């Protein structure tokens, strides 16, 4: 993945049953092209073996300040080479060390000596988490600029239920990768549409499409990672809201159009990812239309073209369109881009993209075509945002 290539993190593991999740976290980070150096406390080695982490990371696992044979300064060498230090799990004891500047082992020493961001993922019993001393320590870490990831609530290894569970490996990997993104869009306001729309026929039936909303939500997440202020106007989906985005939930194309009109004046970039229904029923029935055995004729009227409206404003934002085609991708996409006078349009074949977790995109702009090879939709979204940054920079 282009945005995280050559990034390095130190993954610090402290003593706790959640240490087993660190193995999966290391695997997920390495899968995304991030170099992982593991450092463990002595207590951590009782919960998961250094051999396991060494096999996953491909690097010797360090647990002592004297493990660095070169000059005996592992705490300096590790922290200087890292883009971030991540402590997962971070025990109550280790959090207390960090909050008070104690440095009595390799991991606590390198955290004190670091010149890169520090992220901690707390993991402990709910009563330990709720204790005033722990809450004071967490508040101090945040005041010191440390990023605290979690914890979560749920069933714990001790059998109790409550706050203190470490976030799952996938959640942590997502947050860590997001923290490594350059904040190219800091101060930029982005308005996004995503998902399908639903056009009612009667009280129980309607016209919609198979769009899952995954691509639009991925673009929103990628924009947030780059520091943008995001407003997401979404049709009906089953997806979790991107954390940090201002959400506007709509159902029909008309509702989506009204929401866009309300928010577009404040945005710098508009990205129309939603699969907006082209037509709606002219006369909707308030009650269920009963089956009669005869043919049912519906009159369909066109919905407003939201993207065309935004692009035609007297002072439009930087507009990006999406096109899902079933054939003749290049011809139809470029025709749509030029007709709506868009600086950028992203296109894909609908039968390969709708509902799937990965995608292949072709970007069309004044310079020609740019293929984004098939990959997961968040990776595609990040590449798209980087292309937008480049194009917008040229226009500024």
267 assigned to active site: no
Contacts for 172 with CB less than 8 Å, ≥ 6 apart: 21, 25, 86, 88, 121, 149, 150, 166
Residue 57, SS3 per DSSP: helix
Q: Which listed residue (45, 111, 116, 158) is catalytic?
A: 158
Gap between the Cα atoms of 65 and 39, Å rounded? 10
Q: Which residue has the tokens 């939201």?
A: 306
Q: Which helix (H) or strand (E) element contains residue 360?
A: strand 358-365
Q: What is the DSSP letter of 59?
A: S
**H/E/C letters for each residue in 63-80?**
CCCCCCCCCCCHHHHHHH
Residue 253: closest CA among 221, 289, 300: 300
* Widest Cα–Cα separation across the chain: 87
Q: What are phi and psi of 263, to 5 degrees?
A: -110, -15
Burial class (CB in 10 A: 0-12, 13-18, 19+), 186: exposed
Query: CA 62, 22, 94, 76 torsion: positive or negative?
Result: positive
User: Contact 216/193 with Cβ under 8 angstroms?
Assistant: yes
DSSP letters for 66-128:
T--TTTS-HHHHHHHH-SEEEEEEE-HHHHHHHHHT---SHHHHHHHH--S-EEEEE---HHH
User: Contact 201/281 with Cβ under 8 angstroms?
Assistant: yes
**Residues recognised as catalytic:** 158
């Amino acid at each position: 993945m282009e945005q995280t290539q050559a990034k390095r993190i130190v993954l610090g593991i402290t003593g706790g049953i959640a240490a087993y999740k660190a193995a999966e976290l290391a695997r997920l980070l390495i899968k995304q092209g991030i170099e992982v150096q593991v450092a463990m406390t002595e207590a951590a080695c009782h919960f998961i073996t250094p051999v396991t982490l060494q096999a996953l990371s491909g690097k010797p696992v360090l647990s002592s300040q004297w493990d660095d044979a070169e000059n005996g300064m592992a705490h300096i060498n590790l922290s200087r080479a890292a883009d971030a230090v991540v402590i997962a799990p971070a025990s109550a004891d280790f959090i207390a060390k960090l909050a008070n500047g104690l440095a009595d082992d390799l991991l606590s020493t390198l955290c004190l000596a670091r010149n890169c961001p520090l992220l901690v993922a707390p993991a402990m019993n709910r009563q330990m988490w709720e204790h005033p001393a722990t809450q004071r320590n967490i508040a101090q870490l945040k005041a010191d600029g440390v990023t605290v990831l979690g914890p979560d609530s749920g069933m714990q290894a001790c059998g109790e239920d409550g706050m203190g569970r470490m976030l799952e490996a996938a959640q942590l990997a997502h947050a860590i990768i997001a923290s490594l993104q350059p904040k190219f869009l800091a101060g930029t306001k982005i308005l996004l549409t995503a998902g399908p729309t639903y056009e009612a026929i009667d009280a129980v039936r309607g016209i919609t499409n198979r769009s899952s909303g995954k691509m639009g939500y991925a673009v929103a997440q990628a924009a947030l990672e780059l520091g943008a202020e995001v407003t997401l106007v979404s049709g009906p989906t089953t997806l979790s809201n991107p954390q940090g985005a201002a959400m506007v939930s709509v159902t029909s194309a008309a509702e989506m159009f009204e929401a866009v009109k309300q928010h577009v004046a404040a945005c710098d970039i508009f990205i129309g990812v939603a699969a907006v229904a082209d037509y709606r029923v002219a006369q909707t029935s308030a009650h269920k239309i009963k089956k009669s055995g005869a043919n049912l004729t519906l009159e369909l009227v066109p919905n407003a073209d939201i993207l065309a409206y935004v692009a035609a404003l007297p002072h439009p934002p930087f507009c990006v369109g999406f096109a899902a085609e079933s054939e003749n991708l290049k011809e139809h996409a470029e025709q749509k881009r030029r007709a709506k006078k868009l600086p950028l349009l992203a296109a894909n074949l609908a039968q390969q993209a709708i509902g799937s977790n990965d995608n292949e995109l072709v970007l069309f702009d004044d310079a020609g075509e740019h293929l984004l090879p098939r990959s997961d939709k968040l990776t595609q979204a990040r590449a798209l945002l980087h292309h937008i940054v480049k194009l917008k920079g040229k226009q500024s």
